[in-house]
Amino acid sequence: MRGMNITHQTNDFEQAIARFYTEPELAKLQNVVVGILGAGGLGSNCAVNLARSGIRHFIIADYDRVEMSNLNRQYYFPHHVGQFKVDALQDILTEINPNITVVTYREVLTKDSIPVIYDAADILIEAFDSADAKSMFVEGTLSMVKPKIMVSGLAGIGKSDDLITKKIGTDIYVIGDETSDIADACPYAPRVSIAAAKQADVALSIVLDKGKD
């Protein structure tokens, strides 16, 4: 795991959650590397869910800084405003579990940089806002044979049961209603959080081999 500061000792947090897993399952969670592309509403909430579930190693890229208007849906707090999102998220994750390692990149991702930055990742979480960025993600990961968990359609309020998970091909999972557009309706905390939690749930199902089709 390139760039990762690997530790094999458990701490109080990890000992507390060990009751929920078998020893082999906990070892899988502690050794897998999750790559998250974007640290906004989806990326920050998904990362926190994964950290609380025992994931230790992350690669996260985002060029943006936390703004006050982000706090309606992103896992940040007023004291994070002005900080780079990847730095703020790294602090949050390591506060949850000090054994967590986060390789951060403060840059705009491109279809050419994604395969390089996320080469060591075992699973990819697409957490972009725009349709163009999502298309770029697909194009940039065509050669990467690893699970890719995306979101399409999560804006608005209500009808949260419409946020479903579909598998496309052998390694792409898409979560959302596939209709709502952020350009037409604001992404509010509940649906963003649900979609992010579903992304984390799919990732955990893959890591623990729980039969997520």
Strand order from edge to edge, sheet including 148-151: 101-105, 57-61, 33-37, 123-126, 148-151, 172-176, 164-168
Extract the tokens encoding 108.
């705009």
Residue 42 · residue 199 · CB < 8 Å = yes
pLDDT band (50, 70, 90) for residue 1 = very low
Condensed to tens digits (0 to 9), the pLDDT of residues 40-53 reads 999 999 999 999 99
pLDDT band (50, 70, 90) for residue 161 = confident
87-101, 161-175, 176-190: which has the minimum mean pLDDT?
Answer: 176-190
pLDDT band (50, 70, 90) for residue 160 = confident
Q: Taking residues 27-56, what's their average pLDDT?
A: 98
What pLDDT does residue 202 have? Answer: 97
What pLDDT does residue 24 have? Answer: 96
CATH class of 19-207: alpha beta
User: Which is more confident, 182 or 40?
Assistant: 40
| In the block, residue with structure tokens 């985002």 | 62
Q: Which residues pair with 57 in a beta bridge?
A: 33, 101
Mean pLDDT, all residues of the chain: 91
Share of the chain above pLDDT 90, in %: 78
Residue 48 · residue 75 · CB < 8 Å = yes
63 pLDDT above the threshold of 80: yes
188 pLDDT above the threshold of 90: no
d(CA 155, CA 183): 9
Residues 6 or more apart whose CB falls under 8 angstroms from that of 116 comprise none
* b/e 162-181 (16+ beta carbons within 10 angstroms → b): ebebeeeeebbbbbbbeebe
Residue 92 · residue 48 · CB < 8 Å = yes
What pLDDT does residue 2 have? Answer: 39
Residue 182 · residue 73 · CB < 8 Å = no
pLDDT band (50, 70, 90) for residue 180 = low
Confidence (pTM)? 0.91
| In the block, residue with structure tokens 């506060």 | 95
Condensed to tens digits (0 to 9), the pLDDT of residues 106-135 reads 999 999 999 999 999 999 999 998 889 999
pLDDT band (50, 70, 90) for residue 10 = confident
3 pLDDT above the threshold of 50: no
Residues 6 or more apart whose CB falls under 8 angstroms from that of 141 comprise 114, 115, 124, 148
